[in-house]
Amino acid sequence: MIGFASAAPTILASFMASLVEFIEALTIVLAVGTVRGWKPALQGTLLAAVLLALLVALFGPSLTAIPLALVQLVVGVLLLLFGLRWLRKAILRAGGALALHDEMAEYRKTSQALGSEGEAGSASFDFVGIAAAFKAVVLEGLEVVFIVIATGAAAQALGPAILGAAAAAALVIILGLVLHRPLARVPENALKLVVGILLSGFGAFWTGEGLGLAWPGAEWALLWLVGGFFVAAMIITQLIREPAMVKAESRISETGKS
Amino acid sequence: MMRLFITVLREIFGLFVDDGAYAFLIVLWISACALLLPLSKAISHWGGPILFFGLVSLLLTNVMRSAKRLKHERAQVHHNKH
């Protein structure tokens, strides 16, 4: 039985990373629901959810049969590749080098594409609608499955990792039901930066554990690793910011003060 | 169905790699740490921080290079428009 203190980082990482993915999936499902009807949107989502749950049930427990150091090394390297990729993109977006991810634009694009696919089929079966929702939930959900299995298996805390992802799913479903539109106001890019930092921290820690490297502060090293990636991300963001962007921001803050 | 399968495979690969050189250097750095750090006891005490600083350096160099490239591409598009 693991305590809350050791499970908390896993729950947090799994919750935040899953939240970002579920928000992206929700955007597509809402577009399908609005354009093609709610029945195919929910049928596709449900089918995808079953497939993803099967993947977690299949791969999650089977990892416990592999020696922990090997799991930590493999999962650590994969998490590093995954986390540093997110972090790189998030820094480029925060620094103004890449365009920010826009859920409303994605929603409009998908709605338009689905609208041009012709009328929904029979009332009971709309293949285009079901396939669109299924594909979106499977593709975004695959990332959730990886995050749940990776954060859970390496820390031997699959339960807390599933709990974190389930909480994120519940939150996004409730918000989707209440709002019936994409969660455009969620600071998705900031969330992605935080998730990139968290996953890179976890990845570095478990890679080191898998390799048998020494960490100052032993298990507490996870904290300074996350802090270290945070500081690095902030510095790099400042380094790539274009002077025009910095000037505009300072003008906005000055206007706000006056 | 086949198209979806290929999309899923591409998505799984894309989870970990979007800039091939960046991913390759990360794996290379981890491999170097695994092979070289155990050779010296004095250095191996700092194994974790060495791994960390190497990763941060890779992140820094890649982001700086990418930002410069993207800026250059934007300027090119702007130039072509006018």
Cβ neighbours of A192 in B, within 8 Å:
none
Residue A191 CA neighbour count, 13 Å, CB half? 21
Comparing B81 with A81, the larger pLDDT belongs to A81
Residue B16's pLDDT is 84
Structural tokens at position B46: 């700092």
A198-241 per-position pLDDT tens digit: 999 999 999 999 999 888 887 788 889 999 999 999 999 999 98
B70 lies within 8 A of chain A by CB? yes
Quick one: pLDDT at residue A248?
54
Q: Do A92 and B62 touch (CB under 8 A)?
A: no
Please write the tens of the pLDDT for every residue from A63-74: 777 788 888 899
Long-range contacts of A144-148 (CB under 8 A, 24+ apart): A144/A17, A144/A18, A144/A21, A144/A22, A144/A52, A145/A52, A145/A55, A145/A56, A145/A59, A146/A78, A146/A82, A146/B15, A147/A13, A147/A14, A147/A17, A147/A18, A147/A21, A147/A82, A147/A199, A148/A14, A148/A18, A148/A56, A148/A60
B53's torsion region: left (phi>0), alpha (psi -120 to 50) or beta?
Answer: alpha
Neighbours of A86 (CB within 10 A): 24
The pLDDT mean for chain A works out to 82
Residue A85 in tokens: 């990729």
Token output for A237: 């963001």
To the nearest 5 percent, what fractions of chain A are helix, strand and coil?
85, 0, 15
Of the partner residues B37, B59, B71, the one whose CB lies closest to the CB of residue A236: B59
Q: At residue A72, what is the residue type? A: Q
Task: Report chain B residues whose CB lies below 8 A from the CB of A97.
Answer: 66-67, 70-71
pTM of model > 0.80: no
Is A139–B8 a contact, with Cβ atoms under 8 angstroms apart? yes
Confidence of residue B25 (pLDDT cuts 50, 70, 90): very high
Residue B45 has pLDDT above 90, yes or no: no
CB A137, CB A25: distance < 8 Å: yes
A:B CB pairs within 8 Å: 110
Q: What is the pLDDT of residue A204?
A: 95
For A123-181, write each residue's pLDDT tens digit.
Answer: 567 788 888 888 888 888 888 888 888 888 777 778 888 899 999 989 988 888 887 77
Residue B51 has its nearest CB partner, among A78, A84, A204, at: A204
Task: Decide if B15 and A146 are in contact by the 8 Å CB cutoff.
Answer: yes
Q: Is the pLDDT of residue B41 over 80?
A: no
Under an 8 A CB cutoff, do B37 and A211 touch? yes
pLDDT on residue A258:
41
Closest chain A residue by Cα to residue B61 = A236
Residue among B11, B34, B51 minimizing CB distance to A139: B11
Chain A interface residues facing chain B, Cβ-Cβ under 8 Å?
A: 77-78, 80-82, 84-85, 87-89, 91-92, 95, 97-98, 131, 135, 138-139, 142-143, 146, 200, 204-205, 207-208, 211-216, 221, 225, 228-229, 232, 236, 239-240, 242
* ipTM entry: 0.87
Number of helical (H) and strand (E) elements in chain B, helices listed first: 4, 0
Give how far B34 is from chain A: nearest CA, Å. Answer: 6
B25 touching A (Cβ < 8 Å): no
Nearest by Cα to A150 from A100, A209, A82, A214: A82
Question: For residue B48, what pLDDT is reported?
Answer: 92
Checking if the pLDDT of A23 tops 90, the result is no
Residue B62: predicted pLDDT: 96
pLDDT confidence of residue A143: 84
Residue to test with chain B: of A85, A241, A246, most B Cβ within 10 A: A85
DSSP state of A125: B
